Structure 1
Amino acid sequence: MSDAHALADSFGRIHNYVRISVTERCNLSCEYCRPDQAGAASSPEPLSFDEIASVVAVLADMGVTKVRLTGGEPLVRPRLEELVARLHAVSGIERIGLTTNGMLLAAKARVLREAGLTDVNISLDSLQPERFARITGGGDVGKVLHAIGSSLDAGFQRVKVNMVVMQGVNDDEIESFLQLTLKYPLDIRFIEYMPIGRGTKGWQTGYMPLGGILERCTKAGWAFEPVSSADPGHGAALGHGLTMDTSDSGPARYYRIEGAAGQFGLIDPVSKHFCMTCNRLRITASGHIKPCLYWNDEWNVRPFIGKSEQLKQLFLRSLEHKPGRHEMPDGLTESGSPRPLQENTVRQMSQIGG
């Protein structure tokens, strides 16, 4: 990789991680992801496996080492393990992750691991069957719990469980999720509810900062300590003097309860934005680069697939326009009442790739 092709933006952030959506389709309708099911019947043709592999090869040549496959629900895309195997064969790619709702994962976990998948993130917003079905639009929590067990058995390097915390909806289950770390070698990650796309009406009502979770641990009598990453990132771009943590932990701040088999993480993009350590790009299923999840700027890769140098220049050009930060907190005033948001992406989370 030459310095001219290093994936650094104007703030010196180096991008070694790409999230690629393989489909907008999903078998659930989570209220914060695709609340009105927009695009469910008219999703554009996604990038082919050949096109995705070609793009990843170019990105690997620019310093990308980690790929995460997202959706929609990526496992509704047939033969996803074939794509995983192809990406595993790309020189320079060290980790391949999957973000899934878990509904179809149990039967696929082992074959995906054998194909080269290293990490799996499983969405789970409630342990209560009726509540889970309501949040997800009909999901079966039993299938997700089975998927978590199957993933542990398959031997993934990391199994992460993502809970979007929503005030008055599932925040009374935080302690139950923390208890999972006591017995199982899981990363339980609490994520703040984010105002993304058109489905943001009522977001302020459900939003809850994560600052109180450590206090809940203390009240429960659990001693805990921070967990430092053993996987340091690539550092800063030369000449910018910016220290970055581009580790596998990503934006989560991790803690471990004394004696626990697993750990828990806090991902709080609204109350404590981590934009200046952002190391990721996103590519939508339709083939559009999104340098930032929040903003509307996009660049279409399709016309440049198979033209390596032009595609590299497109990625560099997209990063030139990446802002220093998002403006999610501007959706709240000090009293928590809404005020107009800055213009943000028109896509819903399922159309970007969560």
Structure 2
Amino acid sequence: MLDTLGRNISYLRLSVTDKCNCRCTYCMPPAGVPTRSHRDLLSFEELTDIVRAAATLGVRKVRVTGGEPLARRGVVDLVGMLSGVPGIEEVDMTTNATMLAPVAADLRAAGLTRLNVSLDTLRPDRYRAITRTGELADALAGLAAAREAGFESTKINCVLMGGVNDDEAAELVDIARREPIEVRFIELMPMGECASWPRERFVSGDVVLERVPELVPLGSSGVAELYSAPGFAGRVGLIRAVSHRFCSGCDRIRVTADGRLKPCLHSAAEVSLRGLAGEALTDAIRAGIEAKPAHHNLAPGVRPSDTPRDMNEIGG
């Protein structure tokens, strides 16, 4: 379906929980999130109905997100339900991978197409500091299990933070040098927990190009500008939502775990889908697509995101 600006909306990010076993400093409050009862979250059947309705409007790709989606009990079954929806060509997942190792093969068998793994550092002590509760060894074990299970085109997502992990840019790029993985550097966005952080935390993706000058542009894929260099097995991606606004090419909508459609990550606007079915559900999704703004207005140190939600409640 085309929105009012002619953008083809074909991608749905579906949050299945706002809970996470980590407490990343830029994503969640230190104490975590208030405990929700099971009835506060969309059921697997409701989530599947939303995807089915979205597919009739042209959505072809679904990404299962959280919080941490593997924290939702039975998520492998949900993947199987979503992959069976007519019109859906791709079901992906974004995960911190710390709980991935035991279920990677099951996810693959259920129809999961690809994985994006959040990995902001390769240093165990720094990983614990950023995630507050996580262990780097668990995330690396999850990545290894994904390879064993046959997942291809895996992406690593690294949120760039000045004075925190930007000094590791070259080390993280080396993963793409050695392995057929796309390492993507995401500019820190001023929202939720980090909206009031000091300006120096918000560095441009250009830092990566400065640290690894041999990288050459390959073009773009979705929101990522792609780079590589001779001898690289993989690619490097820059997602520069702040310094290089790419809203004109945005093809996505988001649904939160409590049943609210967000036309834009950074907008306060939401459309309730809870309790809707059939034509009413399709019409509500259509209204959300039509409500997509031309662009966001955030800028580091100048204007924070308009969304009242933390990142873990939206799914990125």
The 3 A distance-change label for structure 1 pair 83 and 166 is same
* Residue 17, structure 1, aligned to residue 11, structure 2: yes
1:327 to 288, 297, 306: 297
The total of aligned residue pairs comes to: 315
Equivalent position of 1:103 in the other structure: 98
> Could you tell me which amino acid in structure 2 is paired with residue 289 of structure 1?
L
Deviations 1:13-69, CA, capped at 9 Å, x for gaps? 111000000001110100000034463334772111111111111111111110000
* Residue 349, structure 1, aligned to residue 311, structure 2: yes
Equivalent position of 2:174 in the other structure: 179
Cα contact 1:18–1:68 (8 A) shared by 2 = yes
What is the alpha-carbon distance in structure 1 between the residues aligned to residue 193 and residue 140 of structure 2?
30
**Deviating runs (4+, > 6 A) in structure 1?**
none
2:222 to 242, 250, 258: 250
> Could you tell me which amino acid in structure 1 is paired with residue 217 of structure 2?
P
Equivalent position of 2:43 in the other structure: 48
* Residue 316, structure 1, aligned to residue 273, structure 2: no
What is the alpha-carbon distance in structure 2 between the residues aligned to residue 14 and residue 55 of structure 1?
18
What is the alpha-carbon distance in structure 2 between the residues aligned to residue 33 and residue 343 of structure 1?
13
Sequence identity percentage: 40
Q: How does 1:60-75 map to 2 (within 5 A)?
A: 60-75=55-70
Cα contact 2:29–2:193 (8 A) shared by 1 = no
Cα contact 1:118–1:158 (8 A) shared by 2 = no
1:228 Cα deviation after fit: 4.2
Deviations 1:131-162, CA, capped at 9 Å, x for gaps? 11000012100111111111122122321110
Secondary structure (helix, strand or coil) at the match of 1:58 reads: helix
* Residue 293, structure 1, aligned to residue 255, structure 2: no
Secondary structure (helix, strand or coil) at the match of 1:30 reads: coil
* Residue 226, structure 1, aligned to residue 217, structure 2: yes
Deviations 1:213-247, CA, capped at 9 Å, x for gaps? 223222xxx4x433346xxxxxxxxxxxxxxxxxx
* Residue 273, structure 1, aligned to residue 268, structure 2: no
What is the alpha-carbon distance in structure 1 between the residues aligned to residue 120 and residue 216 of structure 2?
24
What is the alpha-carbon distance in structure 2 between the residues aligned to residue 262 and residue 131 of structure 1?
25
TM-score by length of 2: 0.95
Cα contact 2:166–2:207 (8 A) shared by 1 = no
> Could you tell me which amino acid in structure 1 is paired with residue 267 of structure 2?
W
The 3 A distance-change label for structure 1 pair 318 and 37 is farther
Structure 1 residues without counterparts, runs of 5 or longer:
1-5, 230-248, 332-337
Larger gyration radius, structure 1 or structure 2? 1
> Could you tell me which amino acid in structure 2 is paired with residue 145 of structure 1?
L
> Could you tell me which amino acid in structure 2 is paired with residue 348 of structure 1?
D
* Residue 155, structure 1, aligned to residue 155, structure 2: no
Secondary structure (helix, strand or coil) at the match of 1:146 reads: helix
What is the alpha-carbon distance in structure 2 between the residues aligned to residue 156 and residue 250 of structure 1?
20
Secondary structure (helix, strand or coil) at the match of 1:158 reads: coil
Equivalent position of 2:21 in the other structure: 27
1:343 Cα deviation after fit: 6.6
Cα contact 1:36–1:199 (8 A) shared by 2 = no
1:183 Cα deviation after fit: 1.2
Secondary structure (helix, strand or coil) at the match of 2:154 reads: strand
Cα contact 2:9–2:289 (8 A) shared by 1 = no
Secondary structure (helix, strand or coil) at the match of 1:19 reads: strand
Equivalent position of 1:86 in the other structure: 81
What is the alpha-carbon distance in structure 2 between the residues aligned to residue 193 and residue 314 of structure 1?
31
Secondary structure (helix, strand or coil) at the match of 1:69 reads: strand
What is the alpha-carbon distance in structure 1 between the residues aligned to residue 121 and residue 282 of structure 2?
42
Structure 2 residues without counterparts, runs of 5 or longer:
none
